Amino acid sequence: MTFAPAHIIRLDEVLSTNDYLEEVLTQRQLPEGSLVVAQNQTRGKGQENNHWESEAGQNLTFSMVLYPDFIPAEEQFMLTQIASISICHVLDSLQLPEPVMIKWPNDIYLGNRKVAGMLIKNNISGNTIGQTICGIGLNVNQAVFSDQAPIAVSLAMATGKKYNLEELLSMWHLEFSYTYDTIKKGKYAAINRTYLSRLYLLNIPSRFIIHGEKLYATITGIGKYGMLELTAVDGRKFICGLKEVVFER
């Protein structure tokens, strides 16, 4: 297994676990796989600085540090893939009532609702990745979300059960470690296949806004650098980055 038993910094409250961990790492190096876990994260961030809503003490909000210098800089999307896959595998073990899928690039969906998200920051060193901070929010026991998070769902909402946060965190850390070992062994193709098999709306015609244009299109795969590949109903093909495509409800 890649990681030794985790070094964990536990906080009652913090603005952002990612920001806190980044500040700690300017002062000292932590062992790979170390975690910052917060009971309450008041300004948690998602992609493009979106706010992550989380009720204190009810969910998992944490960040982990990695030193993946064996991964070429051009393959950094691999870290997004393994973080997403590891969450899916943990949720699979809970026998949830709806399928667990990955909405590109790294939101985790339970059916058509969002149960987890993440923000990954990579520091490039030469041609490889010197340091990664992986921040994750998993909705666990929260019963109600605000109107600002209309598609949010928690595990408790989906099943009517309460879950032990520490057990889920330990399960995820172990699952991530095993998946991380997979790419250390160079098994990129296996990770790509697993990620693609989980992709939300894959091969299903759906509504998107692509480069500002509203249209029906089908997700057909993942391209170089983790770009999303789509084909419009009129046959046009698109390869999109994060800010170039919007999923319409």
Q: Are residues 165 and 50 in the same domain?
A: yes
**Cα–Cα distance, 105 to 107 (Å, whole number):** 6
Nearest 5°: the CA angle 243, 246, 247 is: 150
User: Does pLDDT of 43 surpass 80?
Assistant: no
Q: Are residues 159 and 120 in the same domain?
A: yes
DSSP 243: G
Within a domain: 1: no
What average pLDDT does range 189-200 have in this prediction? 96
**Cα–Cα distance, 235 to 231 (Å, whole number):** 6
Q: What is the pLDDT of residue 148?
A: 79
Q: What is the pLDDT of residue 46?
A: 53
CATH number at residue 134: 3.30.930.10
Q: What is the pLDDT of residue 149?
A: 78
Q: What is the pLDDT of residue 114?
A: 97
Q: What is the pLDDT of residue 137?
A: 96
* Domain encompassing residue 226: 206-247
Q: Are residues 61 and 168 in the same domain?
A: yes
Q: What is the H or E stretch that residue 13 is in?
A: strand 8-14
Q: What is the pLDDT of residue 17?
A: 95
What average pLDDT does range 142-146 have in this prediction? 91
Q: What is the pLDDT of residue 42?
A: 82
- Residues 129, 68 contacting (CB under 8 angstroms): yes
Strand partners, 14: 41
Q: Identify the band that residue 81 occupies on the pLDDT scale cut at 50, 70 and 90.
A: very high
Q: What is the pTM of this model?
A: 0.94
**Cα–Cα distance, 135 to 18 (Å, whole number):** 6
What average pLDDT does range 2-19 have in this prediction? 88
pLDDT 10s digits, 206-245 = 999 999 999 999 999 999 999 999 999 999 999 999 999 9
Q: What is the pLDDT of residue 49?
A: 53
Q: Are residues 167 and 211 in the same domain?
A: no
Q: Are residues 105 and 218 in the same domain?
A: no
Q: Give residue for tokens 């709306």.
A: 201
- Please give the torsion angle defined by the CA atoms of residues 59, 101, 103 and 51, in that order, rounded to the nearest 10 degrees: -10
CA nearest 79: which of 194, 179, 174? 179
At 24, the amino acid letter reads: V
Q: Are residues 78 and 61 in the same domain?
A: yes
User: Does pLDDT of 47 surpass 60?
Assistant: no
Within a domain: 106: yes
User: Does pLDDT of 113 surpass 80?
Assistant: yes
Hey, CA dihedral for 93, 55, 13, 131, is it positive or negative?
A: positive
Query: What does the block give as tokens for 199?
Result: 């992709």
Q: Are residues 170 and 239 in the same domain?
A: no
Q: Are residues 182 and 227 in the same domain?
A: no
- Residues 101, 31 contacting (CB under 8 angstroms): no
What average pLDDT does range 193-215 have in this prediction? 97
